[in-house]
Amino acid sequence: MLIIGELINCTRKKVGEAAQKRDVEFFKDLARRQAGAGANMLDVNGDLPGQDGELLSWLVNLIQDEVEIPLCLDSADPKALVKALPLCKRRPMVNSISDEPAHWAMLPALKEHRPKVIALCMSESCLPTGVEDRVATASRMIDRLAAEGFALDDIHVDACVLPVATGPHGQNLLSAIGQIVARYPGVHISAGVSNVSFGLPLRKLLNEAYLVLLMACGLDTAIVDPCDQQLMLNVMAAEALLGRDAHCKNYLRAYREGKLAQVA
């Protein structure tokens, strides 16, 4: 499982306030804690009103000098993503492109720098809510990226996690993921898991349970809080149960090192 730390997100109030102040130590600490907790990559979202894409570039330069893991560049502004791409010292991921003209305009920069890409199943007309629209949008995006020379191994499809409190989105997403994986063997499936619990109490409980369900359907890239120790233990256990941990070596190593003591 590729774990992408979600905490450096300037749309969150506390993080946004730190970004306004250009609080260097705040972001260094956030990066170190996530890397130390087991994140393989850090999502860096620089969306803040009035920054004109400068904030994302500032964060990229700061964070990659603090930790040695790659970055997942995250912005609703394609221009900010294009500007930050050349700054990356390690091969990044772009989070995300959608099936919208503004995002497809990024193709020349994507082809030049060859990042891994999260393909968000959102079209210009609407946010997907059902199974068929998710699969159709994913298919269009995968086919186009493949035609432009992107390997399936570099494409991570995000079929849109929506709040389960607003409709049957949980099951629809699980079904869509199963169909996408069956249609495109080798493509990766990603998700911002915490969206599922928005508006409900005990959000961590729902996030942890849903992550395991998603993994059983094919999820192999998760944008989550790696500092949530129980969530990380659930990932390890699910990988063992799903045959993704050969001979349960990682699980047994964690047990011997005392990392599973809290659940005994």
Q: CB atoms < 10 A from the CB of 125, how many?
A: 9
The rounded distance, in Å, linking the Cα atoms of 188 and 111 is 19
Per-residue confidence (pLDDT) for residue 127, from 0 to 100: 83
- The amino acid that residue 43 corresponds to is D
| Residues of the chain predicted below pLDDT 50 | none
Per-residue confidence (pLDDT) for residue 52, from 0 to 100: 66
Per-residue confidence (pLDDT) for residue 117, from 0 to 100: 98
Per-residue confidence (pLDDT) for residue 50, from 0 to 100: 78
Asked if 110 and 117 count as a contact pair (C-beta separation under 8 A), the reply is yes
HEC profile for the chain?
CEEEEEEEECCCHHHHHHHHCCCHHHHHHHHHHHHHCCCCEEEEECCCCCCCCHHHHHHHHHHHCCCCCCEEEECCCHHHHHHHHHHCCCCCEEEEEEECHHHHCCHHHHHHHCCEEEEEEEECCCCCCCHHHHHHHHHHHHHHHHHCCCCHHHEEEECCCCCHHHCCHHHHHHHHHHHHHHHCCCCEEEEEHHHHHCCCCCHHHHHHHHHHHHHHHCCCEEEECCCCHHHHHHHHHHHHHCCCCHHHHHHHHHHHCCCCHHHC
Per-residue confidence (pLDDT) for residue 264, from 0 to 100: 54
- Top CATH class, 2-263: alpha beta
Q: Which residues of 50-74 are buried (b: 16+ CB within 10 A; e: fewer)?
A: ebebebbbbbbebbbeebebbbbbb
Write the pLDDT tens digit of every residue in 73-94. Answer: 999 899 999 999 999 999 999 9
pTM above 0.75, yes or no: yes
**Residue 85 CB burial class (10 angstroms; 0-12, 13-18, ≥19):** buried
The rounded distance, in Å, linking the Cα atoms of 100 and 19 is 28
Write the pLDDT tens digit of every residue in 131-163. Answer: 999 999 999 999 999 999 999 999 999 999 999
Q: CB atoms < 10 A from the CB of 190, how many?
A: 27
Asked if 138 and 157 count as a contact pair (C-beta separation under 8 A), the reply is yes
Say how many CA atoms lie within 13 Å of 24 toward its Cβ: 5
Per-residue confidence (pLDDT) for residue 123, from 0 to 100: 84
Inter-axis angle of helices 229-241 and 249-256, nearest 10:
140
Per-residue confidence (pLDDT) for residue 53, from 0 to 100: 78
